[in-house]
Amino acid sequence: MAEEQAAQQGNRNRGNRPSGPAGERSGDRGGDRGRGPGDRGGDRPRGPGDRGGDRRMEGPPEIDLDKLINDSLYLDNQAHVVVSRMRDLDSGTRSTLRRLYNAVRRATRTPEKERQHEFVMLRARLAYTIARHGLRSLDQIERLLLTVTRRNEARGYERFRDLFEAIVAYNE
């Protein structure tokens, strides 16, 4: 008798919905909901416009290191571009940017034979910060830092520092 009352109580709690084998509901909410190949999450072919395709993120063109070294106005314009993208895309804080700038200054001041290693480590730190804080606007700076590090020229390091200084200044 107690078992019958428990079964009736269970039916009332489920709203008298029919149950399948072993007391399971027939309209199970978990797992695959019968999505077809055209529905989201299905096995549909992906094209170049889909997230899974071979699509690159659209953004401003890469910063040209040679122009950066030779043209101060180009440096200034690129700093403005990065800051405007930061304001549009990211919620990056000034303190995060200043910490990165201080790391750039320290790396620039290291002895020449250790400088490339410091900038390699700086790039790792920058990549971590971009990923951690979602600073997609600094991807362009990360690519420039890779170019600067590969060339390993003192003038390139100095101009990278100048660019970063301008970015911090315009972001204030």
Residue range 141-159: mean pLDDT, rounded? 94
Enter the pTM of the model.
0.64
Residue 53 has pLDDT above 50, yes or no: no
**Contact call for residues 135 and 90 (beta carbons, < 8 A):** yes
- Of the candidates 72, 70, 74, the one whose C-alpha atom is nearest the C-alpha of residue 60 is 74
Range of the structural domain that residue 166 is part of: 65-171
Cβ burial, residue 114 (10 Å; 0-12/13-18/19+): exposed
pLDDT in tens, 69-117: 999 999 999 999 999 888 877 766 788 899 999 999 999 999 999 999 9
d(CA 99, CA 66): 26
Let me know if residue 101 belongs to a domain.
yes
Q: How many domains does the chain fold into?
A: 1
Let me know if residue 9 belongs to a domain.
no
- Of the candidates 150, 137, 155, the one whose C-alpha atom is nearest the C-alpha of residue 80 is 137
